[in-house]
Amino acid sequence: MLIQKSSEEPQGVDLFLPAGYDLLWSGAAVAVLAVLVGLGVAVVLVSRAATREPSLHGLAREDPVRRAARRHATTVSVAAVTAAVLVGAVVAQAAATAVGGLGEGVLVGLSPALVGLTYLGAHAVGERTWPRQRAAVRAATLRPRTVGDVAPRALRRLTWSLGALVVLLAVVGALTAGDDGRSVTRVVGDGTSTASPYPGAFYGVWLALAAVLVVAGAEGVLRLVARRPAVAQVDEAWDLALRRASAHRVLRGAQLALGLTAAGMLGVGASAAARAGYPGAAVLVVVAVGLALAAIAVVVRPAPDPDARADERANAPTAAGHGHAVP
């Protein structure tokens, strides 16, 4: 029986790239990639700040309460992005120097989730340190806020869907992988072709667990956003709009981590299947690239402007939920 192997051992970051690109993922290349990603994030943030001037800025100069609330929300967002970039650089350095063999591939596969969990953790700290009202008269609402009130519905569903996709890909990989859990084999007549790395159970268990943690972490932070102290001396619609902006930032970071994880699993699985000889598998690589680009496009989309959202809610008729004074 003829046996062909595309690779004898899945080495390092082959988890997310075909074997022909191993050279690109040397230690120096990983460090360069981390720098490029950090610069890309910085360019996006600077471009958005330079080209978009929310209507709130003019009001904020006249209203110190709104200005302080907006400043805290911005500080939390910037701190979360900074922490995520730093952890990404540390993970890249660890994968290039400190971790080797199969552990390197697992670490690279988990890197989007690790960065995403760091991002969510920074947001959680920011929500827990949200300034409490110190006025003699405190504002409250008649109806407790829920995650459904503050979280953008479409973005929340996308986050859940991407988490479910990662779990589904892990299950499919586990069912189709070889006995080692990290390769795929195709038998044609007397010939056998095996390719690795492949996201079977060896990798998939960790990636699925990481996806569940990211989704759970996002939901936990959204609950903190919904329950944080109200901004004093502002109307309820503006406070709710500011919460929705915070929830938007939380979800777009979580979906990016999940989207890149799913795209990586799909891309490496399709690449290994194509090298093993499965017809049409290479098309899935294009799908994986499209999925990654879509996840990045969602991140670039700006958060909603609290003033615009507040105006929409103020003009719409409401039945209940107006604030009342609490001594």
d(CA 274, CA 285): 10
Number of structural domains, the chain? 1
Residue 12 near residue 100, CB atoms below 8 Å: yes
Q: What does the block give as tokens for 175?
A: 């069912």
Q: What does the block give as tokens for 203?
A: 């990798």
322 falls within a domain: no
- Sequence-distant (6+) residues with CB within 8 A of 238 are 66, 231, 306, 307, 310
Range in 3-7, 35-39, 59-63, 133-137 with the lowest mean pLDDT: 3-7
The residue whose two tokens read 């230690």 is 27
138 falls within a domain: no
105 falls within a domain: yes
121 falls within a domain: yes
d(CA 71, CA 158): 28
What is the enclosing helix (H) or strand (E) of 139?
Answer: strand 138-141
Q: What does the block give as tokens for 125?
A: 């700290």
The residue whose two tokens read 């667990």 is 209
Indicate if the pLDDT at residue 319 is higher than 50.
no
Q: How would DSSP label each residue in 91-135? A: HHHIIIII--THHHHHHHHHHHHHHHHHHHHHHHHHHHTPPPP-S
d(CA 325, CA 13): 58
Sequence letter at residue 6: S
267 falls within a domain: yes
172 falls within a domain: yes
236 falls within a domain: yes
What are the pLDDT digits (tens) for 187-234?
Answer: 887 788 888 888 989 999 999 999 999 999 999 999 999 998 888 777
Q: Provide the domain limits for residue 75.
A: 13-132+148-314
What are the pLDDT digits (tens) for 269-280?
Answer: 998 888 888 888
Indicate if the pLDDT at residue 113 is higher than 90.
yes
- Between the alpha carbon of residue 299 and those of residues 65, 94, 197, 220, 296, the distances in Å are 28, 26, 29, 20, 5
Average pLDDT, the chain: 76
